[in-house]
Amino acid sequence: MNIQNTIETAVKQGFLALYNVEIPSVEFQATRKEFEGDITVVVFPLLRYKKGNPVQIGEDLGNYIVENVAEITNYNVVKGFLNLVIDDVFYTNFFNSVYSDTSFGFVTPKADDKAIMVEYSSPNTNKPLHLGHVRNNLLGYSVAEIIKAAGKKVYKTQIINDRGIHICKSMLAWKKFAPNGNDGQKETPENTGLKGDKLVGNYYVKFDQEYKKEITNLIAKGLTEEEAKKEAPLFKEAQQMLLKWESGDEEVVDLWKTMNGWVYDGFEVTYKNMGVNFDNLYYESNTYLLGKDVVAQGLEKGVFYKKEDGSVWCDLTEDGLDEKLVLRSDGTAVYMTQDICTAIQRVKDYTDVGGMVYTVGNEQDYHFQVLFLILKKLGFDWAKQLYHLSYGMVDLPSGKMKSREGTVVDADDLMVEMTDTARTISEELGKLDGYSDAEKEDLYKTIGMGALKYFILKVDPKKRILFDPKSSVDFQGNTGPFIQYTYARIQSIIRKADFDYSKPVTVPFHEKEKELLKQLELFPDTIQQAAANYSPAIVANYTYDLVKEFNSFYQNVSILGETDLDKKIFRVQLAKKVADTIKSSFSLLGINVPERM
């Protein structure tokens, strides 16, 4: 039973005993450092149930709690804030009970609990991943890990947009414009050494360039821009290709398979470097034809209605939204319909799924609002547990990223750049004697990726990020490497602690030790809070606070230099627990920690 619950019960009992009034809940906060005490009961809200002077009520409650709760030794009241002092014994017990708990803060899911499916990444297969995808991947992966740690079963998934006109553009451009590679054949990843997604991406850009030329020519011949866009031969050809693909034309489908294969190989490398993974994949080419059933179902239930031209709509005007098309007049499905079906399909495939999280940029806020509402109207019980993990754009100082114009920060390039920066800095410090080259490279990657991931994840998801590749990623202050550094330093201490420090001890606390213990105690609650808010930023900021608290302790207190054996043991244990907690909480962000750096 945690201390807060104990006090809450006591406050309720106290209120009943003193004023004969029942209260439903009690509000807590951590006591501010300038006041004496460890936990604070906010008295003001209680005035609703018992009119009176908040200070007097605080005094009464304080008295009652000190008398009735063993762990509380003292109290004071400032305005309407009742500060309670928690006995050291409580913290000693707390520490000894979690010290060797390797899953401290993590909750194991119950067998019959519903699972959550977390979708993220979901790229198009016509271009490489860029900085925007990096934010998406890091967020999605991290939120999945956090929800898992908070006690829910999680499936990580993505839907791959592998069909549509955009794919045909790359295919067509490759077919028409690809020069021959080293072996005399048309360019492939094998004969050029290019990463598959890069190669395909180049042809997507190529298409756009040639297309623009055609448009310009047509406009010069007197067409309007609108007309030119539709009449350009390349565009018409791409449309033809899509029709062929849809009718299962063998040549087109083969090319599509080949080129998508290149892209998947390329993506796999990027995902591996980024440290993210998926439990299953959905392909739009498999799901885009689903839908007729759902439309029929919706019509039957009266959720959808048919217009004269045969198109099917969902009227959401009562909920303050628009009418939404779910089936074109020619009988084909739109994006929304596919999303409805994919959601339903997932629950069919994984029957324990009770909710879903969609990691998609905030430009689709409206889309998901509509999607969730329609699913609710269709009467699925899991529709209440849908969440759109919406995040802001990642901007560059030079302006928006546009993949067609090539003004993007490529994910692979970015990761290489981060690793290089880490290498430069680490080599200057030169603390890596005895490390093999491979170990060093591994470490540089850990640090570089740590910097990148922490930089992106520490910010609230819905805020936009301004990313300056040159100066934004720092290695000092509130950064990943700063935290990794602290971890490595603790490991150094542990390596040097060549005595048996395994036994539980009871020692009087140094002020800094108590602060650290308080911070450690917050960890389980932090995970729950981060899960409830779908926010890795909460975990990141917690870790930073923990590290700051540790550094303050480290500066003020000697660990291995302590002469009292029990104190020395406790300090090593405490340092170790802090390191373990850094490691756990960083694992929730997908960040590794080095033993040395």
Partner RNA sequence: GGCUCCAUAGUUCAAUUGGAUAGAAUAUCAGAUUUCGGCUCUGACGGUUGAAGGUUCGAGUCCUUUUGGAGUCACCA
What is the footprint of RNA within residues 148-207 (CB under 7 A)?
Answer: 161, 163-165
Judged by CB under 7 A, the residue of 83, 121, 126, 285 near RNA is 83
Q: From 298, 270, 594, 240, select the one nearest 435 (Cα to Cα).
A: 594
Near RNA in 86-115, by CB under 7 A: none
d(CA 234, CA 369): 36
> Is the separation of the CB atoms in 372 and 378 below 8 Å?
no
Nearer to RNA by C-beta: 272 or 462?
462
Nearer to RNA by C-beta: 188 or 338?
338
Q: From 45, 46, 37, select the one nearest 71 (Cα to Cα).
A: 37
d(CA 595, CA 575): 14
d(CA 306, CA 313): 6
Q: In what order do the strands lie in the sheet with 72-78?
A: 28-30, 39-42, 81-86, 72-78
DSSP letter string, 197-242: HHHHHHHHHHHHHHHHHHHHHHHHTT--HHHHHHH-HHHHHHHHHH
Nearer to RNA by C-beta: 192 or 478?
478
The contact pattern for RNA, residues 498-537, with x = CB under 7 A and - = no contact, is: -------------------------------x--xx-x-x
The contact pattern for RNA, residues 334-373, with x = CB under 7 A and - = no contact, is: xx--------------------------xxxxxx------
Q: Say what the alpha-carbon torsion angle 241, 247, 250, 256 is, to the nearest 10 degrees.
A: 50
For 118, the token pair is 């977390």
Nearer to RNA by C-beta: 254 or 474?
474
Q: Does 322 bind RNA (CB under 7 A)?
A: yes
> Is the separation of the CB atoms in 169 and 238 below 8 Å?
yes
Judged by CB under 7 A, the residue of 477, 498, 500, 503 near RNA is 477
Nearer to RNA by C-beta: 95 or 444?
444
Judged by CB under 7 A, the residue of 16, 17, 47, 269 near RNA is 47
Q: Does 330 bind RNA (CB under 7 A)?
A: yes
The number of beta carbons lying within 10 Å of the beta carbon of residue 333 is 22
Which of the stretches 28-36, 59-67, 190-198, 373-381 binds RNA when contact is defined by CB under 7 A? 28-36
Residue with tokens 């991943």: 129
Nearer to RNA by C-beta: 171 or 597?
597
What is the separation of C-alpha 92 from the centre of its chain, rounded to a whole number of angstroms? Answer: 34
Nearer to RNA by C-beta: 376 or 423?
423
In angstroms, what is the minimal distance from the CB of 190 to RNA?
29
Nearer to RNA by C-beta: 17 or 47?
47
Near RNA in 112-141, by CB under 7 A: 124
> Is the separation of the CB atoms in 581 and 520 below 8 Å?
yes
Near RNA in 531-590, by CB under 7 A: 532-533, 535, 537-538, 541, 544, 548, 551-552, 554-561
Judged by CB under 7 A, the residue of 431, 499, 502, 566 near RNA is 431
Coil/strand/helix, residue 117? strand
Q: Say what the alpha-carbon torsion angle 81, 87, 91, 92 is, to the nearest 10 degrees.
A: 180
Q: Residue count at the site for RNA (CB under 7 A)? A: 91
For 84, the token pair is 């309670």
d(CA 565, CA 568): 5
Judged by CB under 7 A, the residue of 496, 508, 511, 566 near RNA is 496
In angstroms, what is the minimal distance from the CB of 191 to RNA?
30
In angstroms, what is the minimal distance from the CB of 590 to RNA?
18
Q: Does 474 bind RNA (CB under 7 A)?
A: yes
Near RNA in 386-405, by CB under 7 A: 392-393, 400
Judged by CB under 7 A, the residue of 85, 299, 493, 505 near RNA is 493
The number of beta carbons lying within 10 Å of the beta carbon of residue 324 is 20
Q: Which helix (H) or strand (E) holds 485?
A: helix 480-496
Nearer to RNA by C-beta: 125 or 202?
125
Question: Length of the chain, please?
Answer: 597
